[in-house]
Amino acid sequence: MEIAIIFKCLSDENRLKIIQLLSKRKYCVRALSQQLCISESAVSQHIRVLKNAGLLEIGDKNGYNIHYAVNKEVLLLLSEKIKLLADSVQENRVCGGNCKGETK
């Protein structure tokens, strides 16, 4: 899992809204388009990005309609990585650079 790709993917407001909607139930592109008030082609492009990042999976196929679902495992892995990062933060941090312009 490439964490930077997932963060970049989720930094888009519509993609984040798609994840929020799909966390509650499965939707097809048309239903997502209606929920978000954006075109079906825009939703399809967002879906492609989310799928490539591993955040979505195909839930059900009903004729031409494909219902998408959130890949919960990827979100859980992401939350684990964020927790590890938060746990590694030192309380009494000191400057690690050359802030005073001193040279060695």
pLDDT in tens, the chain (104 residues): 688 999 999 999 999 999 999 999 999 999 999 999 999 999 999 999 999 999 999 888 888 889 999 999 999 999 999 999 999 988 777 777 777 765 55
Segments forming the whole domain that contains residue 17: 3-80
Kindly give the residue spans of alpha helices, DSSP state H, lying in the chain: 3-10, 13-22, 29-36, 40-52, 72-87
The CATH number of residue 21's host domain is: 1.10.10.10
Specify whether the CB–CB gap between 86 and 97 falls below 8 A.
no
Residue 67 lies inside a defined structural domain of this protein:
yes
Residue 40 lies inside a defined structural domain of this protein:
yes
Q: What is the C-alpha separation between 48 and 58, in angstroms, rounded?
A: 11
Q: State residue 97's pLDDT score.
A: 74
Place of tokens 């009903």: 62
Give the closest residue to 9 by CA, choosing from 67, 59, 55, 63: 55
Residue 92 lies inside a defined structural domain of this protein:
no
Specify whether the CB–CB gap between 74 and 1 falls below 8 A.
yes
Residue 70 lies inside a defined structural domain of this protein:
yes
Residue 91 lies inside a defined structural domain of this protein:
no
Q: What is the C-alpha separation between 8 and 52, in angstroms, rounded?
A: 12
Residue 73 lies inside a defined structural domain of this protein:
yes
